[in-house]
C-alpha cells in the first residue's frame, strides 16, 4: 500500500498549497511506498510565519515554563520507547539500514528527548555584584525561529538532535527532512503533538531542499539554520545566511582516518575498522574511510579486513540476519559507482562483496563493501568523501607519518586510533586536527558528548551540553543600584 503523507504546519496536517507531491521509494526494492507534499517556497513561508508568530506572541517562550518544556520532551521519550519497533521498521524501510541498526537509532532518539528534557530546567545564567553600586546579570534566552535541516542517513536521530535542544531552549522550529526519508520526521511531529507540544512550535515541511529548504535559509524571519549535510550545501548556506546575519551551525562532510598501530588488539581493530566504514552502508559523515595501517602488519591486517568485508551479507533490511542494506537512492548509488570507477584506475581492488541475488531486491540500490589497497593519500578516493561502503587502506611507518597523513585532508570531523599504548594513543589524539577522536573504538556518538568538526567539516557542535549553546543567546543586563 502506498501511504499518503502530509506536512505539519501550525498544528495542522496539510498538503502543499499547489497540491504537488513526490514519490518516496523503498531503497531495497525501488518500489514507491509513499507520496509526500512537494512543498514550495510559499509553503515554507506559511510554516515560517507560524513559527515566527508562535515565538513572538510569547505563549511558548516565556509563557511556557522550563519545567513544562522539559515534561513535554520526557513524555515524548516515553512514546518513542513505546513505539520503538514501529519506528525502527519505518526507518529501515525508508532509509535502507538494517533493522538491528535502526532499533539502536530509535533507542538513542528516546534518550536524546529524555536528555534534553532534563536540560530545559538547567539553563542558568550569571549574576555578579560590581562593588555596592551596581550588578550585572547574564540571562540565556532562545535564539528564536530555527530552520532544522537533517540528512537522510540517520533521519530520526539527526532530526531529534536538532529539535530536542531547540525545544528545551524555548525556540520554535521548521523541520525540513531529506526528501528521500520523510517518514520519521513526520512521526516525530505526531509524537511531540501527543506529548503536548503546542501548535506552531514544531512545523514539518517535506519536499526538495533546493526549494523549501532554500526558502528557510533565505527568509529574514528565520533566526538560525542548523544543517547536517554536505560541505557544498553548508558553504552555500553560509553565503546565503550572510545577508540576514543568521546564526548557523553546520555538521558537514568527512574523510576520517582510522589509525591501526601494530600494537593494537588486532581482532578488535580489524572489526572496528570495518564497522567504521561498512556500518550504515558507509553512509556516515564520520566514516573511517581512510584506514592507515602500520607497515609491519599491513598485509596481515589487509587480509583480515578483506575476509571481514567478504563475509558481510547484503539483503532485505528488515531481515535480522542482514549485515548491510541498500544505498538510500539510485542517485547516491551512481555517485558511489563513479568513485569506484575512479578507484579502479588509481589503486587495486582488494575485495568487492556480492550484491543480493533475490529477484525481489533486483530494483534496489546495491553497492557491495569494497576495499582498495595500494592507495596513497593524494588519490581521489583518499581525498574526496564518497559516502558509501568504500575503504582506502594506506600504509605508514611511524606515528609522525600516520599523523601527517591523517591531517593532510580538507576535512576534520573524526578519527579513530587503535593501540594498547595509552601514551601513544593520547599523543596521537592531541595531534590530530579533528573534532571527534575515538581510542580503541569507532563511531560511538553518545548524546552526552559534543559532535562536530574542524576545517571543512563544519561549524559549531551538536549533542551534549554544547548542543544547547547554538540555540541560545546570552543577554547582559546591567543594573544601577544607586551608585
439-478: pLDDT as tens digits:
999 999 999 999 999 999 999 999 999 999 999 999 999 9
Q: Look at residues 354, 344, 390, 349 and name the one whose alpha carbon lies nearest to residue 373.
A: 349
Q: Which residues are catalytic?
A: 251, 285
Pull the grid cell for residue 49.
510565519
Helix H or strand E segment including 281:
none
User: Per-domain residue ranges for the chain?
Assistant: 3-252+458-477, 257-446
If one looks up domain 3-252+458-477 in CATH, what number appears? 3.40.605.10
Helices of type H across 140-213: 155-169, 183-194
Which class for 239: exposed (0-12), middle (13-18), buried (19 or more C-beta within 10 A)?
exposed
- Tell me if 258 sits within 8 A of 382, measured CB to CB: no
How high is the pLDDT of residue 444? 95
Whole-model pTM: value is 0.95
Buried b (16+ CB within 10 A) or exposed e, 348-380: eebbbbeebeeeebebbbbbbbbbbbebebebe
- Cα distance between residue 47 and residue 57, in whole Å: 16
pLDDT less than 70: residues of the chain = 483
The overall average pLDDT reported for the chain is: 97
Q: Which CATH architecture has domain 257-446?
A: 3-Layer(aba) Sandwich (3.40)
How high is the pLDDT of residue 19? 97
Pull the grid cell for residue 131.
562593588
The strand ranges marked E within 318-376 are 348-352, 370-373
How high is the pLDDT of residue 194? 98
Amino acid at each position: 500500500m502506498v501511504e499518503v503523507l502530509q506536512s505539519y504546519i501550525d498544528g495542522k496536517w496539510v498538503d502543499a498549497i499547489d497540491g504537488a507531491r513526490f514519490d518516496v521509494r523503498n531503497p531495497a526494492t525501488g518500489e514507491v511506498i509513499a507520496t509526500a507534499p512537494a512543498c514550495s517556497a510559499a509553503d515554507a513561508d506559511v510554516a515560517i510565519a507560524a513559527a515566527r508568530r508562535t515565538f513572538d506572541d510569547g505563549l511558548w517562550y516565556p509563557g511556557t515554563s522550563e519545567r513544562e518544556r522539559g515534561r513535554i520532551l520526557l513524555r515524548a521519550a516515553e512514546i518513542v520507547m513505546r513505539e520503538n519497533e514501529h519506528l525502527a521498521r519505518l526507518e529501515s524501510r525508508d532509509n535502507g539500514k538494517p533493522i538491528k541498526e535502526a532499533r539502536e537509532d530509535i533507542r538513542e532518539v528516546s534518550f536524546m528527548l529524555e536528555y534534553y528534557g532534563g536540560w530545559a530546567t538547567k539553563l542558568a545564567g550569571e549574576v555578579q555584584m560590581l562593588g555596592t553600586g551596581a550588578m550585572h546579570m547574564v540571562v540565556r534566552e532562545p535564539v528564536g525561529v530555527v530552520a532544522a535541516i537533517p540528512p537522510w542517513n540517520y533521519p530520526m536521530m539527526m532530526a531529534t538532535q536538532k529539535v530536542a535542544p531547540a525545544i528545551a531552549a524555548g525556540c520554535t522550529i521548521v523541520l525540513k527532512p531529506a526528501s528521500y526519508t520523510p517518514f520519521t520526521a513526520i512521526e516525530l511531529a505526531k509524537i511531540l503533538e501527543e506529548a503536548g507540544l503546542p501548535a506552531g512550535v514544531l512545523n514539518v515541511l517535506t519536499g526538495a531542499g533546493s526549494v523549501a529548504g532554500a526558502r528557510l535559509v533565505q527568509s529574514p524571519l528565520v533566526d538560525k539554520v542548523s544543517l547536517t549535510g554536505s560541505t557544498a550545501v553548508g558553504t552555500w548556506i553560509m553565503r546565503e545566511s550572510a545577508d540576514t546575519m543568521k546564526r548557523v551551525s553546520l555538521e558537514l562532510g568527512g574523510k576520517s582516518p582510522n589509525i591501526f598501530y601494530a600494537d593494537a588488539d588486532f581482532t578488535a581493530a580489524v572489526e572496528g575498522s570495518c564497522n567504521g566504514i561498512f556500518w550504515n552502508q558507509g553512509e556516515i559523515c564520520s566514516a573511517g574511510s581512510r584506514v592507515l595501517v602500520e607497515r609491519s602488519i599491513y598485509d596481515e591486517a589487509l587480509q583480515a579486513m578483506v575476509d571481514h568485508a567478504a563475509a558481510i551479507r547484503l539483503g532485505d533490511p528488515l531481515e535480522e540476519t542482514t549485515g548491510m542494506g541498500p544505498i538510500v537512492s539510485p542517485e547516491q548509488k551512481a555517485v558511489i559507482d563513479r568513485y569506484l570507477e575512479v578507484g579502479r584506475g588509481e589503486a587495486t581492488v582488494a575485495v568487492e562483496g556480492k550484491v543480493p541475488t533475490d529477484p525481489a531486491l533486483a530494483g534496489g540500490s546495491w553497492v557491495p563493501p569494497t576495499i582498495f589497497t595500494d592507495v596513497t593519500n593524494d588519490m581521489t578516493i583518499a581525498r574526496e568523501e564518497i559516502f558509501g561502503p568504500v575503504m582506502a587502506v594506506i600504509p605508514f611507518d611511524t606515528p609522525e607519518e600516520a599523523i601527517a597523513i591523517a591531517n593532510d585532508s580538507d576535512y576534520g570531523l573524526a578519527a579513530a586510533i587503535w593501540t594498547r599504548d595509552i601514551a601513544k594513543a593520547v599523543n596521537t589524539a592531541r595531534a590530530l586536527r579533528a573534532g571527534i577522536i575515538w581510542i580503541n573504538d569507532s563511531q560511538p556518538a553518545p548524546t552526552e558528548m559534543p559532535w562536530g568538526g574542524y576545517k571543512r567539516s563544519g561549524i559549531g557542535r551538536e549533542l551534549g551540553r554544547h548542543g544547547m549553546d547554538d540555540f541560545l543567546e546570552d543577554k547582559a543586563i546591567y543594573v544601577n543600584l544607586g551608585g
